[in-house]
Chains A and B, each alone.
Chain A
Amino acid sequence: MRGRDMQAAAEGGRGAEGGVSALEAPERRLVARYQSGLPLAPAPFSEMGRAVGLSEAQVLEALVRLRERGVLSRVGAVVRPHTVGASTLAAMAVPEAELERVAAQVSARPEVNHNYEREGELNLWFVVTAADEAHLARVLAEIEQACGHEVIALPMEREYHIDLGFDLEWTR
């Protein structure tokens, strides 16, 4: 475990190999237990530590380590879509030779929070979140103009499955 951990750390701190199986046991317990239900008490990390057998300082160290390795995006809130601001999934068909440049232009917008290359003719997929519908429409139009490709907006109409975080079961 430790060897794989060190290997992951050596690979740019991104945990490029191993995934959850390379996590130290305390980090793993924290991820398994606290993707939701962060204690709403003045010292939440102390409470979390009590639940998983760590000191407050050890919890904070583990979280900093997870963040440095890129496993942890943040300790914070996942907000229900369309309750604050406006958002949409969007897609573009970008010739391969232009993809790096266009992707960088799209990613540079602070309103874009996910941006992936996917297989298929529509090969660049991104999520735009803005303060309101007018702001959203403006951002989509500006991306379309700056990149020179049609932006296909695919707004969500209904959600069937809520985001509860990731299951760690399969790593056993």
Chain B
Amino acid sequence: MDALTALDPRDRALLGAIQDGLPLVARPYRAVGERLGMDESEVILRLARLLRSGVIRRLGLVVRHHELGYRANAMVVWDVPDEEVDAAGARLAAEPAVHLCYRRRRHPRWPYNLYCMVHGRDREAVLAEIEAVTRRAGLAGRPRRVLFSRRRFKQRGARYVFEEPGHASA
């Protein structure tokens, strides 16, 4: 949460200005700065600082896994005792096949607390991979669900800055 307190209004405005991506022009930082009343050098310095402090995890080409060729995409969830979940999560995260790995809050209708994503070219390969990582992470005996994606209705970058009603300027 240290990163949050370090985020000043100009940082927030900058993140908002690039949430749809940088313009694909020769001087993208200058172009973003022009919209915000910032120098090119201020945009660059602020982005560097946001990267260093970890607010920005990565700056670069954000690609869509499906179009990249990963056609079989599964979310895998386990119900792991609370005292074991962090160790299991760390083991899963070390697996090359595991793309994202999170602990989430349980829900009365959904008792699972450990989540990861496994992507691959086809369903059989992904299922085999899930079996292997489950075993290596010591999760073979835990309740598990595998949820392959069917239709993608929407995928794009998150919005962090929203127009407030009645302030539809800029």
A interface, CB within 8 angstroms of B = 14-15, 18-21, 30-31, 34-38, 40-46, 56, 60, 63-64, 66-67, 69-80, 82-85, 87, 89, 91, 103-104, 106-107, 110-120, 122-123, 125-127, 129-131, 135, 150, 152-168, 170-171
6 residue pairs, one from A and one from B, having the closest CB atoms:
A19-B69, A74-B21, A36-B58, A161-B101, A160-B89, A161-B93
| A114/B147 in contact, CB under 8 A | no
| A56/B21 in contact, CB under 8 A | no
Which residues of the other chain, A, contact B86 by a CB distance below 8 angstroms? 158, 160
Which residues of the other chain, B, contact A91 by a CB distance below 8 angstroms? 110
16 residue pairs A–B, Cβ–Cβ below 8 Å: A14-B67, A40-B47, A56-B26, A71-B67, A71-B68, A75-B24, A76-B18, A78-B157, A83-B3, A83-B4, A83-B7, A113-B155, A125-B75, A154-B104, A155-B105, A166-B63
Q: A157-B103, A158-B102 are in contact. Are A119 and B27 (CB under 8 A)?
A: no
B90 part of interface (Cβ distance < 8 Å): yes
Question: In the bound complex, what is the Cα–Cα distance between A42 and B43 (angstroms)?
Answer: 10
Which residues of the other chain, B, contact A159 by a CB distance below 8 angstroms? 101-103
| B40/A42 in contact, CB under 8 A | yes
B54 part of interface (Cβ distance < 8 Å): yes
Which residues of the other chain, A, contact B145 by a CB distance below 8 angstroms? 120
A31-B61, A77-B50, A131-B160 are known contacts; what are 15 more A-B pairs with Cβ within 8 Å?
A: A36-B58, A40-B29, A42-B29, A63-B61, A74-B22, A76-B157, A77-B47, A110-B159, A113-B159, A114-B156, A152-B109, A157-B105, A160-B86, A163-B99, A166-B70
* In the complex, residue of chain A having the shortest beta-carbon distance to the beta carbon of B90: A160
Chain B contact residues (Cβ within 8 angstroms of A): what range?
A: 35 or more
Question: In the bound complex, what is the Cα–Cα distance between A87 and B50 (angstroms)?
Answer: 19
Residue from the list A18, A80, A170 in contact with B55, Cβ < 8 A: A80
| A113/B57 in contact, CB under 8 A | no
| A114/B40 in contact, CB under 8 A | no
Question: In the bound complex, what is the Cα–Cα distance between A119 and B126 (angstroms)?
Answer: 15
Residue from the list A35, A46, A84, A171 in contact with B60, Cβ < 8 A: A35
Which residues of the other chain, B, contact A44 by a CB distance below 8 angstroms? 28-29
Kindly name the residue among A76, A112, A165 whose own CB sees the greatest number of chain B CB atoms within 10 A: A76
| B3/A160 in contact, CB under 8 A | no
| B24/A79 in contact, CB under 8 A | no
Q: Mark B57-90, 1 if CB is under 8 A from A, else 0.
A: 1111111110111110001000000000010011
Instruction: Quote the shortest CB–CB distance from B25 to chain A (angstroms).
Output: 8
* In the complex, residue of chain B having the shortest beta-carbon distance to the beta carbon of A76: B21
Which residues of the other chain, B, contact A21 by a CB distance below 8 angstroms? 69
Which residues of the other chain, B, contact A36 by a CB distance below 8 angstroms? 58-60
Residue from the list A87, A125, A163, A171 in contact with B100, Cβ < 8 A: A163
| B154/A113 in contact, CB under 8 A | yes
| A63/B56 in contact, CB under 8 A | no
Q: A71-B64, A116-B151 are in contact. Are A20 and B69 (CB under 8 A)?
A: yes
B135 part of interface (Cβ distance < 8 Å): no
Question: In the bound complex, what is the Cα–Cα distance between A89 and B43 (angstroms)?
Answer: 31
Residue from the list B24, B27, B110, B115 in contact with A63, Cβ < 8 A: B24
Which residues of the other chain, B, contact A63 by a CB distance below 8 angstroms? 24, 61
